[in-house]
């Protein structure tokens, strides 16, 4: 009994000790979580590190004439780590007032007292990630690192500057859809198609996590240094792009059209010099005209029934087959014919039709009846041969342009496939039951102008890095020859007849006063709706110039006008003419050189004002004499007979920079980094700026610069 009682006492004693031990552990946990939380959290932070990705600077996109189409502007987020181990608090207290005054002067959005409160609160709360400022420009960041206390460096001051890039398009909506949009998902345009080259190489850096889930570099060193992306030099000429966009915009507004596109291409190379796409985004009201924006690239993304512009492919195929000759005659009667009970008519059917026409005349007057009867005559017994002939031209394939979003064409591969019917042969012949994008249509016409050689359209000429050419994008031949020389010559004659001012073609009056000849084709296609063709039309004109020695090809498509006018000759033809006239007037290679220019004495080339380092590099590369080395970063250039003189140009902090005489790139760099929102007009050299140089920059300011 005694032993049993002793055993029981020992058991309760052990149980009590376990309870006390458990309560002690629980109490210690509570103490660590509360009283010692900050201490151990700080210790943990020292060991919670990870290798983080560092985004490189994205390459810029340029026009062929050097204009900046898309650029990345650096901005910084400024934060303060009040628990940085190397901070000397006596120095902080001594220099705090000067620091806050400097922050207020440079950033201009808060008073010194407000910055004082932000920093003192960060210190009192022991914060490691106090936000000081967002979206700080590059120039202001350079000013901030020179301020008292901050200039001691990252670890002795605790101040960090996290850099990011903002993508800007200096020309606004001009060629906007072609240039594209840079974003994490669903990029479009050149930004998407050339993203790998533009993006560069992502860097790697060891960083540690601080309060708020933010990461801070352990040091300034990189495991893998970020490599900036290549600059993409596009084939776009901004002068021609401006002409194309304005001409298209005026016609769209005049006729209240739904959308329109224009593409200008070099015949020999396939390089696109202008590509404008405008879509109605706001309806016309009694007080305001309709509003158009570059919201979709119709040139490559809208595959529609081309209508009469497809007659070139149809008649070319018929002549190439050997069943049809250019001078063969077809009786079109009174301009009305029925196929399987479905009526087809010519535009002059109410006037009695055209009667008997040759193959070339059928194309000249754009006879639907003549084209359909010609194709039926050639391929009635073997319609598959017609489809095979079209495929030999490549009209069933995308152009393969390296630009995101090209829609594939739809052309039957086999008789009986899909929605093929007895009407299909004659409907295809005049551009229905097939779809093509405007660029795909242009490619065939460009091949005719190029001696039968089909080129792949291209929008990029080369890749550069710091001015050095990394890779040139050479012209690419898709098909060396699409047809025989006899068929090719017949097609050229047909295209010239359409626009001959002395002929009977559908575009004979459009180019009556042009100083050059044009070869082309009008198109007026009905638009299919949910209930069939409902009286809406799509107008087009496609061709090349000069007809005898083609240099450029061009297509204009304007859809769904509300003005009551819808023929291709009346709607699309004038836009083509304005584009062609401007190219002819401004391209000196179209005109004979002046003997005076040939005998003029050689002079030093002039230069725009701007960044000294780049100018010195250029002068050195070309061996040109200059005076004024090792002066300020920005200079004014005076070009003399024997040497260029570089004079310093002062850029004052928090003042409007003087960018007159600079090119767009340097002007945009200075103004954007000064915190100004920039609007541009024209191209070339800055002649005027809306804000006076040296005036104070307000909190939210915008500036307009005019270039010429």
- What is the C-alpha to C-alpha distance for residues 109 and 105, in angstroms, rounded to an integer? 9
What does the domain layout of the chain look like in residue ranges? 15-47, 50-177+201-230, 239-590, 610-707
Q: Per-residue confidence at 209, pLDDT binned at 50, 70, 90?
A: low
Q: Is the pLDDT reported for residue 448 higher than 90?
A: yes
Does residue 346 surpass a pLDDT of 70?
yes
Tell me the HSE value of 353 on the side-chain side, using a 13 A CA sphere.
Answer: 19
Minimum mean pLDDT among 20-34, 105-119, 141-155: which range? 20-34
Mean pLDDT of the chain: 87
C-alpha dihedral (87, 92, 98, 103), degrees to nearest 10: 50
Q: CB 461: neighbour CB atoms within 10 A?
A: 20
Strand partners, 610: 635
Query: How far apart (Å, rounded) are the C-alpha atoms in residues 66 and 665?
Result: 9
Output the pTM of the full model: 0.74
Which pLDDT does position 599 carry in this prediction?
Answer: 40
- Please tell me the predicted confidence (pLDDT) of residue 593: 47
Q: 3-state class of 657 per DSSP?
A: coil
Q: Band of the pLDDT at 219, cuts 50, 70, 90?
A: low
CA distance 424 to 695: 70
Q: Which residues pair with 524 in a beta bridge?
A: 539
Facing residues of 707 across strands? Answer: 686
pLDDT of residue 604: 67
Query: pLDDT, tens digit, for every residue of 372-403?
Result: 999 999 999 999 999 999 999 999 999 999 99
Q: How confident is the model at residue 600 (pLDDT cuts 50, 70, 90)?
A: very low
Please, which pLDDT band fits residue 197 given cuts at 50, 70 and 90? very high
The torsion region of residue 391 among left (phi > 0), alpha (psi -120 to 50) and beta comes to: alpha
Q: What does CATH list as the number for 50-177+201-230?
A: 3.90.1310
Q: How far is CA 207 from CA 47, 228, 452, 550, in A?
A: 10, 21, 60, 60
Furthest C-alpha separation in the chain: 137
pLDDT surpassing 60 at residue 40: no
Contact 316, 323 (CB under 8 A): no
What is the structure's pLDDT at 383?
Answer: 96
Which band of pLDDT confidence, cut at 50, 70 and 90, is reported for residue 514? confident
Residue 202 tokens read as 């992502």
Judged by DSSP in three states, 505 sits in coil
Find out whether 476 and 343 touch, Cβ atoms under 8 Å: no
- Mean of pLDDT values over 263-268: 98
Two tokens, residue 276: 């404008």
- Domain 239-590 -> CATH class: alpha beta
Task: Give, as one character, the DSSP assignment of residue 335.
Answer: S
Which pLDDT band, with edges at 50, 70 and 90, does 316 fall under?
Answer: very high
pLDDT of residue 413: 95
Decide if pLDDT at 489 tops 50. yes
pLDDT at 44: 53
With beta carbons less than 8 A apart as the criterion, state whether 633 and 33 touch.
Answer: no
Write down the residue that tokens 């070319």 correspond to.
316
- CATH no. of 610-707: 3.30.10.20
pLDDT bin (cut points 50, 70, 90) of residue 35 is: low
Structure token digits, residue 705: 């610069």
Rg from Cα positions in the chain: 35
Q: Quote the pLDDT of residue 597.
A: 37
Between 51 and 353, residue with greater pLDDT: 353
122 or 604: which carries more pLDDT confidence? 122
Place of tokens 């551009």: 431
Q: pLDDT band at 126, cuts 50/70/90?
A: confident
Residue showing tokens 């809208």: 302
Q: What is the band of 598 on the pLDDT scale with cuts at 50, 70, 90?
A: very low
Stronger pLDDT, 375 or 55, i.e. the higher one: 375
**Alpha carbon 64 to chain centroid, angstroms:** 13
Q: Which pLDDT band holds residue 214 (cuts at 50, 70, 90)? A: low
pLDDT digits (tens, 9 = 90+) for 607-634: 888 888 888 877 777 778 887 766 778 8
Around Cβ 50, how many Cβ atoms within 10 Å? Answer: 10
Beta-bridged to residue 609, according to DSSP, are 662
Token pair for 470: 């990394």
pLDDT at site 595:
43
pLDDT, one tens digit per residue, over 134-190 is 888 888 889 999 999 999 988 889 998 888 778 888 888 888 889 988 877 788 899
Structure tokens at 128: 């490691």
Residue 2 has pLDDT above 70, yes or no: no
**How confident is the model at residue 353, as a pLDDT?**
92
Whether the predicted pLDDT of 61 surpasses 90: yes
What's the pLDDT at 32? 63
**pLDDT tens, 270-308?**
999 999 999 999 998 888 899 999 999 999 999 999 999
pLDDT at position 649 is 84
- Please tell me the predicted confidence (pLDDT) of residue 699: 64
Q: Residues 684-699: pLDDT tens digits? A: 788 788 888 888 887 6
């Amino acid at each position: 009994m005694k032993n049993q009682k002793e055993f029981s006492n020992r058991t309760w004693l052990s149980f009590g000790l376990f309870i006390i031990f458990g309560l002690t552990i629980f109490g210690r946990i509570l103490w660590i979580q509360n009283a010692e939380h900050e201490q151990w959290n700080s210790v943990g932070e020292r060991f919670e590190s990870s290798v983080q990705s560092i985004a490189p600077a994205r390459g810029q996109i340029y026009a062929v004439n050097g204009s900046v189409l898309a650029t990345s502007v650096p901005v910084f987020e400024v934060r303060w780590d009040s628990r940085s181990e190397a901070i000397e608090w006596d120095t902080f207290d001594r220099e705090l007032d000067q620091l806050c005054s400097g922050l207020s002067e440079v950033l201009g959005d808060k008073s010194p007292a407000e910055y004082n409160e932000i920093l003192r609160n960060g210190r009192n709360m022991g914060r490691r990630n106090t936000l000081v400022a967002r979206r700080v420009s590059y120039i202001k960041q350079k000013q901030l690192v020179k301020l008292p206390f901050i200039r001691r460096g990252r670890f002795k001051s605790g101040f960090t500057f996290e850099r990011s890039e903002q993508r800007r398009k200096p020309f606004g909506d001009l060629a906007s859809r072609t240039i594209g949009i840079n974003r994490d998902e669903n990029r479009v345009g050149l930004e998407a198609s050339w993203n790998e080259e533009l993006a560069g190489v992502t860097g790697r850096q060891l960083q540690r996590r601080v309060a708020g889930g933010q990461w801070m570099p352990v040091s300034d060193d990189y495991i893998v240094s970020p490599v900036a992306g290549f600059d993409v030099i596009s084939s776009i000429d901004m002068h021609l792009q401006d002409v194309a966009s304005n001409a298209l915009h005026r016609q769209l507004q005049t006729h209240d059209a739904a959308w329109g596109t224009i593409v200008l291409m070099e015949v020999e190379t396939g390089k696109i010099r202008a590509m404008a796409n405008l879509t109605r985004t706001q309806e016309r009201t009694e007080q305001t005209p309709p509003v158009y924006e570059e919201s979709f690239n119709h040139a490559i993304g809208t595959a529609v029934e081309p209508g009469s512009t497809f007659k070139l492919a149809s008649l070319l195929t018929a002549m190439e087959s050997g069943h049809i000759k250019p001078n063969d005659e077809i009786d079109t009667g009174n301009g009305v014919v029925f196929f399987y009970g479905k009526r087809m008519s010519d535009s002059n059917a109410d006037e009695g039709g055209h009667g008997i026409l040759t193959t070339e005349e059928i194309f000249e007057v754009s006879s639907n009846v003549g084209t359909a009867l010609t194709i039926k005559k050639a391929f009635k017994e073997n319609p598959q041969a017609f489809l095979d002939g079209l495929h030999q031209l490549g009209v069933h394939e995308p152009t393969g342009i390296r630009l995101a979003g090209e829609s594939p064409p739809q052309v039957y591969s086999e008789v009986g496939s899909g929605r093929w019917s007895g009407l299909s042969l004659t409907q295809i012949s005049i551009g229905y039951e097939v779809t093509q994008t405007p660029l795909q249509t242009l490619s065939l016409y460009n091949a005719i102008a190029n001696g039968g050689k089909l080129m792949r359209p291209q929008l990029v000429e080369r890749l550069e890095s710091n001015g050095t050419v990394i890779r040139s994008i050479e012209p690419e031949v898709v098909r060396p020859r699409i047809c025989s020389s006899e068929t090719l010559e017949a097609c050229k004659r047909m295209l010239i007849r359409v626009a001959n001012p002395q002929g009977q073609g559908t575009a004979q009056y459009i180019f009556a006063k042009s100083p050059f000849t044009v070869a082309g084709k009008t198109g007026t296609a009905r638009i299919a709706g949910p209930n069939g063709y409902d009286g809406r039309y799509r107008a087009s004109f496609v061709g090349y110039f000069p007809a005898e020695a083609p240099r450029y090809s061009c297509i204009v498509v304007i859809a769904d006008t509300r003005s009551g006018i819808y023929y291709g000759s009346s709607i699309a033809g004038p836009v083509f003419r304005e584009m062609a006239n401007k190219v002819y007037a401004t391209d000196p290679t179209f005109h004979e050189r002046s003997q005076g220019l040939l005998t003029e004495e050689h002079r030093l080339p002039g230069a725009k004002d701007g960044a000294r380092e780049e100018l010195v590099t250029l002068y050195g590369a070309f061996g040109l004499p200059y005076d004024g080395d090792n002066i300020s970063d920005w200079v004014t250039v005076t070009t003399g007979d024997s040497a260029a003189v570089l004079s310093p140009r002062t850029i004052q902090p928090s003042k409007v920079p003087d960018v007159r005489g600079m090119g767009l790139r340097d002007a945009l760099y200075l103004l954007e980094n000064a915190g100004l929102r920039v609007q541009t007009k024209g191209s070339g050299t800055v002649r005027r700026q809306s804000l006076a140089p040296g005036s104070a920059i307000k909190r939210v300011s915008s500036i307009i610069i005019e270039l010429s």
